[in-house]
Protein backbone atom coordinates (compact mmCIF):
# COMPACT_ATOMS: atom_id res chain seq x y z
CA UNK A 1 0.00 0.00 0.00
CA UNK A 2 2.96 2.34 0.56
CA UNK A 3 3.38 2.72 -3.22
CA UNK A 4 -0.35 3.13 -3.86
CA UNK A 5 -0.84 6.40 -1.95
CA UNK A 6 1.23 9.46 -1.10
CA UNK A 7 0.50 12.57 0.97
CA UNK A 8 1.11 16.15 -0.16
CA UNK A 9 -0.20 19.64 0.46
CA UNK A 10 -3.31 21.01 -1.23
CA UNK A 11 -3.15 22.31 -4.80
CA UNK A 12 -5.70 24.49 -6.61
CA UNK A 13 -6.79 21.58 -8.80
CA UNK A 14 -7.99 19.74 -5.67
CA UNK A 15 -10.72 22.24 -4.84
CA UNK A 16 -13.65 20.56 -6.64
CA UNK A 17 -12.93 17.14 -5.14
CA UNK A 18 -12.52 18.73 -1.69
CA UNK A 19 -15.84 20.59 -1.81
CA UNK A 20 -17.78 17.68 -3.31
CA UNK A 21 -16.45 15.21 -0.74
CA UNK A 22 -17.23 17.48 2.22
CA UNK A 23 -20.81 17.91 1.04
CA UNK A 24 -21.20 14.13 0.92
CA UNK A 25 -19.70 13.34 4.30
CA UNK A 26 -19.63 16.40 6.57
CA UNK A 27 -21.44 19.52 5.35
CA UNK A 28 -24.63 20.43 3.53
CA UNK A 29 -23.55 23.77 2.10
CA UNK A 30 -19.76 23.88 1.76
CA UNK A 31 -18.79 25.97 -1.26
CA UNK A 32 -15.98 28.13 -2.61
CA UNK A 33 -17.08 31.09 -0.46
CA UNK A 34 -16.65 29.05 2.73
CA UNK A 35 -13.30 27.74 1.48
CA UNK A 36 -12.02 31.24 0.68
CA UNK A 37 -13.16 32.56 4.06
CA UNK A 38 -11.58 29.73 6.01
CA UNK A 39 -8.32 29.17 4.13
CA UNK A 40 -7.64 32.40 2.25
CA UNK A 41 -8.94 35.15 4.53
CA UNK A 42 -7.99 33.67 7.93
CA UNK A 43 -5.73 36.27 9.63
CA UNK A 44 -3.53 33.52 11.08
CA UNK A 45 -1.69 32.40 7.96
CA UNK A 46 1.12 29.84 7.44
CA UNK A 47 1.87 31.06 3.94
CA UNK A 48 0.26 28.08 2.20
CA UNK A 49 -3.03 26.15 2.23
CA UNK A 50 -2.55 23.76 5.13
CA UNK A 51 -4.75 20.91 3.88
CA UNK A 52 -3.09 17.50 3.67
CA UNK A 53 -4.15 15.54 0.59
CA UNK A 54 -3.77 11.80 0.00
CA UNK A 55 -3.37 11.07 -3.68
CA UNK A 56 -4.07 7.65 -5.17
CA UNK A 57 -0.97 7.10 -7.29
CA UNK A 58 -2.44 4.72 -9.91
CA UNK A 59 -5.24 7.16 -10.83
CA UNK A 60 -3.72 10.51 -9.80
CA UNK A 61 -6.92 11.35 -7.91
CA UNK A 62 -7.11 12.96 -4.45
CA UNK A 63 -8.99 10.49 -2.23
CA UNK A 64 -8.56 11.88 1.28
CA UNK A 65 -8.24 15.35 2.82
CA UNK A 66 -7.43 16.60 6.31
CA UNK A 67 -7.43 20.34 7.02
CA UNK A 68 -5.30 22.08 9.64
CA UNK A 69 -6.49 25.62 10.31
CA UNK A 70 -3.87 28.04 11.72
CA UNK A 71 -4.92 29.72 14.97
CA UNK A 72 -3.36 31.26 18.05
CA UNK A 73 -3.69 29.99 21.61
CA UNK A 74 -3.41 32.62 24.34
CA UNK A 75 -2.85 32.70 28.08
CA UNK A 76 -2.44 36.14 29.65
CA UNK A 77 0.02 38.19 27.61
CA UNK A 78 1.50 35.18 25.80
CA UNK A 79 0.18 33.72 22.53
CA UNK A 80 1.52 30.90 20.39
CA UNK A 81 0.57 29.29 17.10
CA UNK A 82 -1.48 26.10 16.82
CA UNK A 83 -3.33 24.30 14.08
CA UNK A 84 -6.87 23.03 14.49
CA UNK A 85 -7.88 19.89 12.65
CA UNK A 86 -11.16 20.53 10.86
CA UNK A 87 -12.70 19.71 7.47
CA UNK A 88 -11.68 16.28 6.24
CA UNK A 89 -12.85 12.99 4.80
CA UNK A 90 -11.69 9.78 3.13
CA UNK A 91 -13.48 8.59 -0.02
CA UNK A 92 -15.61 5.59 0.88
CA UNK A 93 -13.82 3.13 -1.43
CA UNK A 94 -10.46 4.05 0.18
CA UNK A 95 -11.43 3.79 3.85
CA UNK A 96 -9.93 1.42 6.44
CA UNK A 97 -6.48 1.81 4.92
CA UNK A 98 -4.97 4.17 7.49
CA UNK A 99 -5.14 7.24 5.24
CA UNK A 100 -6.37 9.60 7.96
CA UNK A 101 -3.50 8.55 10.21
CA UNK A 102 -1.06 9.19 7.38
CA UNK A 103 -2.23 12.80 7.04
CA UNK A 104 -1.53 13.40 10.74
CA UNK A 105 1.94 11.84 10.49
CA UNK A 106 2.54 14.01 7.42
CA UNK A 107 1.52 17.12 9.39
CA UNK A 108 3.88 16.22 12.23
CA UNK A 109 6.79 15.83 9.84
CA UNK A 110 6.00 18.92 7.77
CA UNK A 111 5.53 21.20 10.79
CA UNK A 112 8.94 20.36 12.25
CA UNK A 113 10.72 23.67 12.81
CA UNK A 114 7.69 25.79 11.80
CA UNK A 115 5.68 28.06 14.10
CA UNK A 116 2.70 25.82 15.09
CA UNK A 117 3.38 24.23 18.48
CA UNK A 118 0.40 21.92 18.89
CA UNK A 119 -2.37 20.24 16.92
CA UNK A 120 -5.80 20.58 18.51
CA UNK A 121 -8.88 18.87 17.15
CA UNK A 122 -12.55 18.67 18.09
CA UNK A 123 -13.33 15.21 16.79
CA UNK A 124 -16.75 13.65 16.74
CA UNK A 125 -16.49 10.88 19.29
CA UNK A 126 -16.69 8.10 16.73
CA UNK A 127 -13.64 9.57 14.92
CA UNK A 128 -11.42 10.17 17.95
CA UNK A 129 -9.97 6.66 17.88
CA UNK A 130 -8.31 7.24 14.51
CA UNK A 131 -6.67 10.43 15.81
CA UNK A 132 -5.41 8.53 18.85
CA UNK A 133 -3.91 5.82 16.62
CA UNK A 134 -2.12 8.58 14.70
CA UNK A 135 -0.37 9.77 17.86
CA UNK A 136 -2.75 12.32 19.38
CA UNK A 137 -3.75 12.31 23.02
CA UNK A 138 -7.43 12.26 23.98
CA UNK A 139 -7.63 15.34 26.19
CA UNK A 140 -11.26 15.72 27.29
CA UNK A 141 -14.89 15.59 26.15
CA UNK A 142 -17.09 18.48 25.08
CA UNK A 143 -20.85 18.02 25.03
CA UNK A 144 -23.65 19.69 23.09
CA UNK A 145 -26.51 20.97 25.27
CA UNK A 146 -29.78 21.39 23.39
CA UNK A 147 -33.35 22.29 24.32
CA UNK A 148 -36.58 23.30 22.63
CA UNK A 149 -37.27 26.87 23.71
CA UNK A 150 -40.74 25.98 24.98
CA UNK A 151 -39.27 23.34 27.30
CA UNK A 152 -36.91 25.68 29.16
CA UNK A 153 -37.36 25.78 32.92
CA UNK A 154 -36.53 28.51 35.39
CA UNK A 155 -36.56 31.53 33.09
CA UNK A 156 -36.75 34.58 35.38
CA UNK A 157 -38.19 38.02 34.94
CA UNK A 158 -35.08 39.86 33.80
CA UNK A 159 -35.13 42.81 36.18
CA UNK A 160 -31.97 44.84 35.88
CA UNK A 161 -30.43 42.46 33.32
CA UNK A 162 -29.82 44.11 29.97
CA UNK A 163 -28.24 42.96 26.70
CA UNK A 164 -27.12 45.68 24.28
CA UNK A 165 -26.00 44.99 20.69
CA UNK A 166 -22.36 46.01 20.19
CA UNK A 167 -19.91 46.28 17.31
CA UNK A 168 -16.86 44.08 16.92
CA UNK A 169 -14.53 46.75 18.36
CA UNK A 170 -16.48 46.83 21.63
CA UNK A 171 -16.59 43.02 21.59
CA UNK A 172 -12.80 43.03 21.39
CA UNK A 173 -12.51 45.55 24.25
CA UNK A 174 -14.66 43.33 26.48
CA UNK A 175 -12.57 40.32 25.49
CA UNK A 176 -9.34 42.11 26.41
CA UNK A 177 -10.83 43.09 29.78
CA UNK A 178 -10.59 39.47 30.92
CA UNK A 179 -7.98 37.95 28.59
CA UNK A 180 -5.15 40.32 29.49
CA UNK A 181 -5.28 39.30 33.16
CA UNK A 182 -6.34 35.67 32.88
CA UNK A 183 -4.14 32.58 32.66
CA UNK A 184 -7.01 30.60 31.11
CA UNK A 185 -6.02 28.93 27.84
CA UNK A 186 -8.22 29.94 24.92
CA UNK A 187 -8.13 30.68 21.20
CA UNK A 188 -6.90 34.24 20.79
CA UNK A 189 -9.64 36.67 19.76
CA UNK A 190 -7.49 39.36 18.16
CA UNK A 191 -9.35 42.21 16.50
CA UNK A 192 -8.53 40.99 12.95
CA UNK A 193 -9.68 37.50 13.97
CA UNK A 194 -12.99 38.79 15.35
CA UNK A 195 -13.61 40.87 12.24
CA UNK A 196 -12.94 37.76 10.14
CA UNK A 197 -15.21 35.57 12.24
CA UNK A 198 -18.07 38.02 12.84
CA UNK A 199 -18.17 39.97 9.58
CA UNK A 200 -16.60 37.55 7.14
CA UNK A 201 -18.39 34.25 7.60
CA UNK A 202 -20.46 33.62 4.45
CA UNK A 203 -23.11 31.52 6.22
CA UNK A 204 -23.25 32.20 9.95
CA UNK A 205 -23.95 35.73 11.13
CA UNK A 206 -22.79 36.38 14.68
CA UNK A 207 -24.51 38.94 16.91
CA UNK A 208 -22.48 40.19 19.90
CA UNK A 209 -24.09 41.77 22.98
CA UNK A 210 -22.76 43.55 26.04
CA UNK A 211 -24.25 42.09 29.21
CA UNK A 212 -25.10 44.42 32.10
CA UNK A 213 -26.72 43.83 35.47
CA UNK A 214 -28.04 46.91 37.27
CA UNK A 215 -25.92 49.08 35.00
CA UNK A 216 -22.67 47.16 35.65
CA UNK A 217 -20.96 45.50 32.68
CA UNK A 218 -20.55 41.78 33.26
CA UNK A 219 -19.06 40.80 29.90
CA UNK A 220 -20.34 39.73 26.49
CA UNK A 221 -22.40 37.01 24.89
CA UNK A 222 -22.49 36.24 21.16
CA UNK A 223 -25.22 34.31 19.35
CA UNK A 224 -25.92 33.13 15.86
CA UNK A 225 -29.31 32.24 14.40
CA UNK A 226 -29.71 29.48 11.81
CA UNK A 227 -32.84 28.19 10.11
CA UNK A 228 -32.70 24.40 10.21
CA UNK A 229 -35.03 21.41 10.60
CA UNK A 230 -38.08 23.61 10.06
CA UNK A 231 -37.26 25.97 12.94
CA UNK A 232 -34.82 28.64 14.12
CA UNK A 233 -31.84 27.55 16.22
CA UNK A 234 -30.05 30.02 18.48
CA UNK A 235 -26.50 29.03 19.43
CA UNK A 236 -24.65 30.74 22.27
CA UNK A 237 -21.37 30.71 20.41
CA UNK A 238 -19.15 32.90 22.61
CA UNK A 239 -19.22 34.50 26.05
CA UNK A 240 -17.02 35.83 28.82
CA UNK A 241 -15.65 32.99 31.00
CA UNK A 242 -17.86 32.44 34.02
CA UNK A 243 -20.67 34.65 32.71
CA UNK A 244 -23.17 31.90 31.97
CA UNK A 245 -22.37 30.00 35.17
CA UNK A 246 -23.73 33.02 37.03
CA UNK A 247 -26.31 34.39 34.63
CA UNK A 248 -27.50 31.62 32.28
CA UNK A 249 -31.26 31.93 33.10
CA UNK A 250 -31.23 35.73 32.93
CA UNK A 251 -29.22 35.79 29.71
CA UNK A 252 -31.47 33.26 27.99
CA UNK A 253 -34.59 35.13 29.10
CA UNK A 254 -33.25 38.36 27.56
CA UNK A 255 -32.17 36.69 24.32
CA UNK A 256 -35.48 34.89 23.85
CA UNK A 257 -37.42 38.08 24.54
CA UNK A 258 -35.45 39.72 21.70
CA UNK A 259 -35.79 36.64 19.45
CA UNK A 260 -39.24 35.13 20.16
CA UNK A 261 -39.16 33.13 16.91
CA UNK A 262 -36.34 30.90 18.23
CA UNK A 263 -37.43 27.26 18.54
CA UNK A 264 -34.21 25.60 19.73
CA UNK A 265 -31.30 26.74 21.91
CA UNK A 266 -27.82 25.19 21.84
CA UNK A 267 -24.53 25.65 23.66
CA UNK A 268 -21.41 23.58 24.29
CA UNK A 269 -20.08 22.65 27.73
CA UNK A 270 -17.32 20.47 29.09
CA UNK A 271 -18.56 17.19 30.46
CA UNK A 272 -19.50 17.35 34.14
CA UNK A 273 -18.84 21.12 34.27
CA UNK A 274 -20.88 23.53 36.35
CA UNK A 275 -22.31 25.09 33.18
CA UNK A 276 -23.49 21.70 31.96
CA UNK A 277 -25.15 21.07 35.34
CA UNK A 278 -26.96 24.41 35.18
CA UNK A 279 -28.11 23.69 31.63
CA UNK A 280 -29.50 20.29 32.65
CA UNK A 281 -31.41 21.95 35.49
CA UNK A 282 -33.05 24.26 32.95
CA UNK A 283 -34.18 21.38 30.75
CA UNK A 284 -31.30 21.01 28.28
CA UNK A 285 -30.55 17.57 26.91
CA UNK A 286 -26.86 16.65 26.98
CA UNK A 287 -25.51 15.00 23.84
CA UNK A 288 -21.96 13.59 23.92
CA UNK A 289 -20.42 15.29 20.91
CA UNK A 290 -16.70 16.02 20.71
CA UNK A 291 -13.51 14.49 22.01
CA UNK A 292 -10.77 17.11 22.15
CA UNK A 293 -7.49 15.70 20.83
CA UNK A 294 -4.01 17.22 21.07
CA UNK A 295 -0.62 16.35 19.60
CA UNK A 296 2.72 18.03 20.31
CA UNK A 297 4.45 19.59 17.29
CA UNK A 298 7.12 22.14 18.32
CA UNK A 299 8.15 23.46 21.75
CA UNK A 300 5.70 21.00 23.32
CA UNK A 301 5.86 17.37 24.45
CA UNK A 302 3.63 14.38 25.13
CA UNK A 303 4.19 12.68 28.42
CA UNK A 304 2.04 10.23 30.38
CA UNK A 305 -0.95 10.61 28.00
CA UNK A 306 -0.86 14.41 28.41
CA UNK A 307 0.49 17.32 26.35
CA UNK A 308 2.75 19.94 27.94
CA UNK A 309 4.23 23.28 26.97
CA UNK A 310 6.99 23.77 29.49
CA UNK A 311 5.34 23.14 32.86
CA UNK A 312 1.86 23.95 31.54
CA UNK A 313 -0.40 20.97 30.96
CA UNK A 314 -2.20 21.95 27.77
CA UNK A 315 -4.48 18.91 27.85
CA UNK A 316 -6.05 19.81 31.22
CA UNK A 317 -9.65 20.79 30.44
CA UNK A 318 -9.86 22.92 33.59
CA UNK A 319 -7.32 25.31 32.07
CA UNK A 320 -9.43 25.97 28.95
CA UNK A 321 -12.22 28.29 27.92
CA UNK A 322 -13.72 26.82 24.74
CA UNK A 323 -16.97 27.96 23.14
CA UNK A 324 -18.88 26.97 20.03
CA UNK A 325 -17.22 29.80 18.09
CA UNK A 326 -13.79 28.17 18.58
CA UNK A 327 -14.69 25.00 16.71
CA UNK A 328 -14.21 24.98 12.96
**CATH 3.40.630.30 boundaries in the chain:** 5-141+289-326, 144-288
pLDDT at 69: 98
User: What residues form DSSP beta bridges with 211?
Assistant: 163, 219
User: In CATH, which superfamily holds the domain spanning 144-288?
Assistant: Gcn5-related N-acetyltransferase (GNAT) (3.40.630.30)
Q: Give per-10-residue mean pLDDT for the chain (328 aa).
A: 87 97 87 96 95 97 98 97 96 94 96 97 80 86 96 88 97 98 97 97 94 97 93 97 96 96 97 94 96 96 96 95 96
CB 282, CB 246: distance < 8 Å: no
pLDDT of residue 58: 95
The CA angle 281-322-151, to the nearest 5 degrees, is 25
CA neighbor of 221 nearest in space, from 234, 210, 232? 210
pLDDT of residue 36: 97
Between the alpha carbon of residue 19 and those of residues 62, 65, 87, the distances in Å are: 12, 10, 10
Report yes or no: 233 and 264 within 8 Å, Cβ to Cβ. Answer: yes
Query: What pLDDT sits at residue 226?
Result: 92
**Are 293 and 287 contacting, i.e. CB atoms less than 8 angstroms apart?**
no
By the 10 Å C-beta count (0-12 exposed, 13-18 middle, 19+ buried), 305 is classed as exposed
Does domain 5-141+289-326 fall under CATH 3.40.630.30? My reply is yes
For 71-97, what is the HEC assignment? EEEEECCEEEEEEEEEEEEECHHHCCC
Q: Where are the beta strands (DSSP E) in 241-284?
A: 264-270
Burial 90-101 (b: 16+ CB within 10 A, else e): bbeeeeebbbbb
Residue 2: the pLDDT is 59
3-state secondary structure of 147: strand
Amino acid sequence: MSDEYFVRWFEEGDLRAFIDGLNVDLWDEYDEAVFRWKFRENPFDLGFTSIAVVEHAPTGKPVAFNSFLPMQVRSGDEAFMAVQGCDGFVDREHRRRGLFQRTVVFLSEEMRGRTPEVLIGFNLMEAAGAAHKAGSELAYDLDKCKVESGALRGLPTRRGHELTPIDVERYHELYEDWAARSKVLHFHRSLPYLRWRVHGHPVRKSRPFEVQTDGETRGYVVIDLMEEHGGLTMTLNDYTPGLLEGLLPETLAALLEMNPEVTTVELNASGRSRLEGLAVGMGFEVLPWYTVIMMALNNTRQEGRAVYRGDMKLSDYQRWHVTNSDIF
